[in-house]
Protein backbone atom coordinates (compact mmCIF):
# COMPACT_ATOMS: atom_id res chain seq x y z
CA UNK A 1 0.00 0.00 0.00
CA UNK A 2 2.85 2.39 0.87
CA UNK A 3 4.46 1.58 -2.46
CA UNK A 4 1.24 2.48 -4.29
CA UNK A 5 1.01 5.86 -2.50
CA UNK A 6 4.66 6.63 -3.41
CA UNK A 7 3.99 5.75 -7.06
CA UNK A 8 0.93 8.02 -7.16
CA UNK A 9 2.90 10.93 -5.67
CA UNK A 10 5.68 10.44 -8.22
CA UNK A 11 3.12 10.29 -11.03
CA UNK A 12 1.51 13.56 -9.86
CA UNK A 13 4.92 15.32 -9.77
CA UNK A 14 5.74 14.14 -13.28
CA UNK A 15 2.33 15.24 -14.54
CA UNK A 16 2.82 18.65 -12.94
CA UNK A 17 6.22 18.99 -14.66
CA UNK A 18 4.74 18.08 -18.05
CA UNK A 19 1.91 20.60 -17.63
CA UNK A 20 4.36 23.32 -16.55
CA UNK A 21 6.72 22.58 -19.45
CA UNK A 22 3.81 22.64 -21.92
CA UNK A 23 2.62 26.00 -20.58
CA UNK A 24 6.13 27.46 -20.91
CA UNK A 25 6.40 26.22 -24.51
CA UNK A 26 3.02 27.69 -25.42
CA UNK A 27 3.89 31.08 -23.94
CA UNK A 28 7.33 31.05 -25.59
CA UNK A 29 5.81 30.08 -28.93
CA UNK A 30 3.49 33.07 -28.80
CA UNK A 31 6.28 35.55 -28.21
CA UNK A 32 9.17 34.25 -30.30
CA UNK A 33 9.34 33.63 -34.03
CA UNK A 34 8.52 35.19 -37.33
CA UNK A 35 5.49 37.46 -37.27
CA UNK A 36 3.76 39.02 -40.24
CA UNK A 37 3.00 42.72 -40.40
CA UNK A 38 -0.49 43.71 -39.26
CA UNK A 39 -3.18 42.93 -41.79
CA UNK A 40 -4.40 45.84 -43.85
CA UNK A 41 -7.86 47.20 -43.27
CA UNK A 42 -10.34 47.08 -46.16
CA UNK A 43 -9.55 50.68 -47.07
CA UNK A 44 -6.19 52.40 -46.87
CA UNK A 45 -4.21 49.70 -45.04
CA UNK A 46 -0.60 48.70 -45.76
CA UNK A 47 1.11 45.34 -45.29
CA UNK A 48 4.67 44.26 -46.06
CA UNK A 49 5.64 40.62 -46.51
CA UNK A 50 6.62 37.87 -48.91
CA UNK A 51 4.59 37.18 -52.05
CA UNK A 52 4.72 34.23 -54.39
CA UNK A 53 2.93 33.53 -57.67
CA UNK A 54 0.80 30.82 -59.20
CA UNK A 55 -0.13 30.18 -62.81
CA UNK A 56 -0.67 27.37 -65.30
CA UNK A 57 -1.32 24.63 -62.75
CA UNK A 58 -4.45 26.51 -61.64
CA UNK A 59 -5.48 27.87 -65.07
CA UNK A 60 -9.24 27.54 -65.58
CA UNK A 61 -9.89 26.37 -62.01
CA UNK A 62 -12.48 28.03 -59.81
CA UNK A 63 -11.29 30.69 -57.37
CA UNK A 64 -12.82 31.42 -53.98
CA UNK A 65 -14.87 34.21 -55.58
CA UNK A 66 -16.44 31.65 -57.93
CA UNK A 67 -14.81 32.94 -61.13
CA UNK A 68 -12.46 31.02 -63.40
CA UNK A 69 -8.77 31.66 -62.76
CA UNK A 70 -6.92 33.28 -65.68
CA UNK A 71 -3.18 33.45 -65.08
CA UNK A 72 -2.84 36.48 -67.39
CA UNK A 73 -5.14 38.70 -65.31
CA UNK A 74 -3.79 40.83 -62.48
CA UNK A 75 -5.39 38.99 -59.57
CA UNK A 76 -4.20 37.76 -56.20
CA UNK A 77 -5.00 35.51 -53.26
CA UNK A 78 -5.00 36.91 -49.71
CA UNK A 79 -6.07 35.21 -46.49
CA UNK A 80 -8.28 37.92 -45.01
CA UNK A 81 -8.95 40.83 -47.39
CA UNK A 82 -12.51 40.83 -48.73
CA UNK A 83 -12.90 39.28 -52.16
CA UNK A 84 -13.04 42.03 -54.78
CA UNK A 85 -10.69 44.36 -52.90
CA UNK A 86 -8.25 46.25 -55.10
CA UNK A 87 -4.67 46.55 -53.90
CA UNK A 88 -1.46 48.08 -55.20
CA UNK A 89 1.37 45.56 -54.90
CA UNK A 90 4.92 46.95 -55.08
CA UNK A 91 8.06 44.82 -55.37
CA UNK A 92 10.30 46.35 -52.69
CA UNK A 93 13.50 45.24 -54.47
CA UNK A 94 12.88 46.85 -57.87
CA UNK A 95 10.05 49.34 -57.27
CA UNK A 96 7.71 47.79 -59.87
CA UNK A 97 4.06 48.12 -58.99
CA UNK A 98 0.72 46.67 -60.19
CA UNK A 99 -2.91 46.91 -59.13
CA UNK A 100 -4.51 43.53 -58.44
CA UNK A 101 -7.98 42.38 -57.48
CA UNK A 102 -8.29 39.89 -54.61
CA UNK A 103 -10.32 36.98 -55.99
CA UNK A 104 -8.98 33.98 -54.08
CA UNK A 105 -7.87 32.78 -50.64
CA UNK A 106 -4.29 31.92 -49.74
CA UNK A 107 -1.36 31.63 -49.68
CA UNK A 108 -1.22 28.52 -47.56
CA UNK A 109 2.55 28.54 -47.14
CA UNK A 110 3.97 29.79 -43.86
CA UNK A 111 5.60 33.21 -44.05
CA UNK A 112 3.79 34.36 -47.21
CA UNK A 113 1.17 37.12 -47.27
CA UNK A 114 0.06 37.12 -50.92
CA UNK A 115 -0.11 34.89 -54.00
CA UNK A 116 -0.25 36.85 -57.26
CA UNK A 117 -1.21 35.54 -60.69
CA UNK A 118 1.44 34.88 -63.32
CA UNK A 119 0.51 38.08 -65.17
CA UNK A 120 1.00 40.20 -62.05
CA UNK A 121 4.21 38.33 -61.15
CA UNK A 122 5.61 38.99 -64.58
CA UNK A 123 4.86 42.71 -64.30
CA UNK A 124 6.43 42.76 -60.80
CA UNK A 125 9.51 40.88 -62.00
CA UNK A 126 9.22 37.92 -59.64
CA UNK A 127 8.62 35.03 -62.05
CA UNK A 128 12.22 33.84 -62.15
CA UNK A 129 12.95 34.05 -58.41
CA UNK A 130 9.48 32.78 -57.37
CA UNK A 131 9.05 35.02 -54.33
CA UNK A 132 9.71 38.63 -53.43
CA UNK A 133 9.23 41.06 -50.58
CA UNK A 134 6.24 43.25 -51.44
CA UNK A 135 4.27 46.16 -50.07
CA UNK A 136 0.49 45.78 -50.28
CA UNK A 137 -1.64 48.95 -50.18
CA UNK A 138 -5.40 48.48 -50.04
CA UNK A 139 -7.00 50.89 -52.52
CA UNK A 140 -10.70 50.76 -51.95
CA UNK A 141 -13.96 49.29 -50.90
CA UNK A 142 -14.70 46.03 -52.76
CA UNK A 143 -18.33 47.08 -53.21
CA UNK A 144 -17.29 49.62 -55.86
CA UNK A 145 -15.14 47.21 -57.89
CA UNK A 146 -16.65 46.05 -61.15
CA UNK A 147 -16.27 42.55 -62.50
CA UNK A 148 -13.83 43.76 -65.16
CA UNK A 149 -10.08 43.31 -64.90
CA UNK A 150 -8.41 45.79 -62.59
CA UNK A 151 -4.96 46.94 -63.62
CA UNK A 152 -5.02 45.17 -66.97
CA UNK A 153 -5.08 47.01 -70.28
CA UNK A 154 -6.09 45.33 -73.50
CA UNK A 155 -3.35 44.43 -75.95
CA UNK A 156 -4.67 47.01 -78.41
CA UNK A 157 -4.43 49.81 -75.84
CA UNK A 158 -0.95 48.71 -74.72
CA UNK A 159 0.20 48.56 -78.34
CA UNK A 160 -1.20 51.99 -79.16
CA UNK A 161 0.40 53.52 -76.08
CA UNK A 162 3.70 51.84 -76.86
CA UNK A 163 3.65 53.05 -80.47
CA UNK A 164 3.00 56.62 -79.36
CA UNK A 165 -0.55 56.95 -80.64
CA UNK A 166 -2.59 59.54 -78.82
CA UNK A 167 -5.68 58.58 -76.91
CA UNK A 168 -8.92 59.64 -78.54
CA UNK A 169 -10.63 62.53 -76.74
CA UNK A 170 -13.96 61.60 -75.16
CA UNK A 171 -17.04 62.31 -77.22
CA UNK A 172 -18.65 65.58 -76.24
CA UNK A 173 -22.25 65.55 -75.10
CA UNK A 174 -24.75 68.24 -75.95
CA UNK A 175 -25.43 70.56 -73.02
CA UNK A 176 -28.32 69.61 -70.78
CA UNK A 177 -31.33 71.90 -70.95
On whether the 46-162 domain is CATH 2.40.40.10, my answer is yes
Return mean pLDDT, the chain. 76
What does the domain layout of the chain look like in residue ranges?
A: 46-162
The percent of residues above 90 in pLDDT, for the chain, comes to 48
Q: Is the pTM of this model over 0.85?
A: no
Q: Which of 22-31, 87-96, 148-157 has the highest mean pLDDT?
A: 87-96
**pLDDT tens-digit profile of 119-167?**
999 999 999 999 999 999 999 765 544 434 444 444 444 454 455 545 5
The full DSSP string for 59-73 is: TT-B-TTSSBP-TTS
Q: Report the largest interatomic distance among the alpha carbons of the chain, rounded to a whole angstrom.
A: 106
Assign 168 a pLDDT band (cuts: 50, 70, 90): low
Average pLDDT over residues 82-92: 96
Instruction: Tell me which residue of 131, 133, 134 sits closest to 100, measured CA to CA.
Output: 134
Question: Which of residues 162 and 45 earns the better pLDDT score?
Answer: 45
Amino acid sequence: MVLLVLSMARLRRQLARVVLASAILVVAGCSVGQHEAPLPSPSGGVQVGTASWYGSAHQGGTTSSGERFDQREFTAAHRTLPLGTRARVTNVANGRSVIVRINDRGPFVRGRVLDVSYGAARALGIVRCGTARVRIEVLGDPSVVTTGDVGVRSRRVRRSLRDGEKKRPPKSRPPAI
